[in-house]
Amino acid sequence: MDREDFINKKLLAVYISLFIVALGFGVILPILPFYLERLVLGSGITSENLNFHMGLLTSTYPLFQMFFAPIWGRWSDRLGRKPLIIMGIWGFIMMQLVISISNALWMLYLARIIGGVFTSSIIPVGYALISDLTSTKNRAFGIALAGTSYSLGVVVGPFLGGLLSRTHLHLNYRLGHFHINDFSVPFFILTLLGLGLLPVVARWLKNTAMDYKTADPVGIDLQGWPQLVRGLSPYLFLSLIYQAALTLFEFVFSIYSKNELQYDAISIGYGFMVCALVMGLLQPVVVSKKISNVISNRNQVTIGFALFGIAIVLLVFSKQLVLVLILIGLLAAGGAFITPNITAFISILGKQQGGQALGIQNAVNSLGQGVGPIAGSWLLTLNTSLPYLVTGIILTVLALFLSLNKKLHSLTINLTTVNK
C-alpha cells in the first residue's frame, strides 16, 4: 500500500466531509419519532399516520438524492470536484438550520428536500475524488476508509442527537413562525459544524478535473448514461437491494424498538451505534490484501448478504437489548463485506466516467433508501414482524443465487492485485 495515497489533506477533507454529513443522518434517527410527536401534538394525526409520515420523511431525503446525484457526478467530471462538495456542505447547513427552527410538519419536509437536493453531491463526488487520488490497487481501501468515516459519523450522530435533545435546558422560544426548543439543539450544533467545515474544505481541497487522468486498462470505455448503466447493472442491482434492506432495518428499528420493545432514545441510539461502528471498523479490514487473498471479493459480497439476511430474521425473535445488539453487529458485519467491494467494482469498471458512475450508484442507493422505509412502513401495518422476515428471506435467497451464479465474472476480480 502506498501511504502517500492516504496521508494528504485532500483525502482528509473528503473523509471529514463524509463524517459531518453522516452526523446529520445519524442525529435525527433516534429523535425523529419524538420530534414528530411534538410537531403533530393536538393536530388529530393518528399513530398510523405518524408512522406513515416517518417513512415518508425518511424517504424524501434519499429520493431527491436519487434524482440529483447523477447530475452532480456528471458536473463534477466537467467542473471539478471541489465546487460541488462546497455546494453540498451549504445544502447540509441549510437543512440543519431549517430543522432546528421547524414548528410544522411541512418545514421538516422542506428541510429534507433541501438536504436531498444539495448534499447528494457530497457522497458521489467525494468518492470520485478518492478515485482520482488513489491508484487502482488501493482504491478499495480508500473507499473503505471513506465508508469508515461515514459510519463513524452515524455512530456519533445518534448519541449526539439523543444526548443533546435531552439537555434539560427547557428551551421553548417562538420567533415569529419559528419554534426553538430542546429538540433544536442538535441541529444548531450541526449547523455550526457545517459552517466550520467550509473553510477547511476551501483551504485543503484543490479543484480536480478529468483531463489529468491517465488511461486505465480495467475501466470500461462507455459513452452516455444508458450504456454505463447497462455495463454496471449487476452491481447497481446489488447496491439497490442492499441499501433498501439497510434503510428498512434502520427505519423499522426506531419504531419497533420504541413501540414493541419499549426502548428509549438512548437505547435506540445504542443499536445504531453498534451497527455503524462494526460496519465502519470492519470495512478497511475485509478489503485488505490479507483478507482478500483468503476470501475473494466475490465471496465477500455473498457472505455479506447471507450474514445480513440471517441476522435480520433472528431479530424478530430477540427481545433483550444485549442479544439485539449482537445481532445488529452481525448484520453490520454483512454490510462491511458488501459496501466497499461493490463501490470499488463500480469505480474501477466505470473509471473513465468516474463521477458519472459513482453518481449513478448513489442515485441507485438513494432509490433503495427511499424504497426501504416506505416498504417497511407498509409491512409494519400488516404485521410488526413482516419487515424483518421479508427482508431476511430476500437477502438469503440473493446470497444463495450469488453463490451459484458464475456469470458475474467481474466479481472475481481481486481488487488488491489489480494493476499490481
CATH class of 10-206+219-412: mainly alpha
Going from the C-alpha of 93 to that of each of 23, 129, 131, 194, 201, the distances in angstroms are 12, 22, 26, 6, 14
Neighbour-count burial for 248-260, b at 16+ CB within 10 Å, e otherwise: bbbbbbbbbbbee
Count of CB atoms within 10 A of residue 79's CB?
A: 14
Cβ burial, residue 267 (10 Å; 0-12/13-18/19+) = middle
Residue 297 CA to chain centroid, in angstroms? Answer: 21
Residue 180, phi-psi category: left (phi > 0), alpha (psi -120 to 50), beta (remainder): beta
For residue 165, give the H/E element and its range.
none
Q: For position 303, what pLDDT does the model report?
A: 93
Residue (of 375, 392, 354) closest to 125 by Cα position: 354
CB contact at 8 A, 120 and 72: yes
For residue 223, give the H/E element and its range.
none
Q: How far is it, in rounded angstroms, from Cα 183 to Cα 167?
A: 9
Q: Cell numbers at residue 410, please?
A: 467481474
What are the residue ranges of helices labelled H in 214-314? Answer: 225-259, 265-286, 289-294, 297-314
Q: Cell numbers at residue 275, please?
A: 451497527
Q: Cell numbers at residue 287, please?
A: 478489503
Count of CB atoms within 10 A of residue 214's CB?
A: 5
Digitized pLDDT (tens) for each residue of the chain, 420 residues in all = 444 455 578 888 999 999 998 888 778 877 777 777 777 665 556 666 776 777 778 778 777 877 887 788 778 777 788 889 999 999 999 999 888 887 778 888 999 899 889 988 888 788 888 877 877 677 777 877 887 788 778 667 777 777 776 655 555 555 555 555 567 788 888 999 999 999 999 888 876 654 434 334 344 444 556 777 777 788 889 999 999 999 899 888 877 887 777 777 677 778 877 887 888 888 888 877 788 778 877 888 999 999 999 999 999 888 888 899 999 999 999 999 998 888 877 777 765 565 677 778 877 887 887 788 888 888 888 888 899 999 999 999 999 998 887 655 444 444 444 444
CB-based contacts of 26, cutoff 8 Å, min separation 6: 153, 154, 155, 156, 157, 158, 160, 161, 272, 276
Q: For position 333, what pLDDT does the model report?
A: 93
CB contact at 8 A, 187 and 27: yes
What are the residue ranges of helices labelled H in 134-224? Answer: 139-164, 185-204
User: What's the start-to-end Cα distance of the chain, in Å?
Assistant: 11
Q: Cell numbers at residue 288, please?
A: 485488505
CB contact at 8 A, 228 and 352: no
Q: pLDDT digits over 97-109, tens only?
A: 888 887 778 888 9
CB-based contacts of 214, cutoff 8 Å, min separation 6: none
Q: For position 88, what pLDDT does the model report?
A: 92
For residue 181, give the H/E element and its range.
strand 178-181
Q: For position 90, what pLDDT does the model report?
A: 95
The DSSP-derived string for 121-152 is GHHHHHHHHHHHHS-GGGHHHHHHHHHHHHHH
For residue 174, give the H/E element and its range.
strand 172-175
Q: For position 217, what pLDDT does the model report?
A: 39
Q: For position 406, what pLDDT does the model report?
A: 61
Residue 44, phi-psi category: left (phi > 0), alpha (psi -120 to 50), beta (remainder): left
Tell me the domain boundaries of the chain.
10-206+219-412
SS3 179: strand
CB contact at 8 A, 228 and 222: yes
Going from the C-alpha of 238 to that of each of 118, 184, 268, the distances in angstroms are 25, 37, 28
Give me the residue label for grid cell 415569529.
176
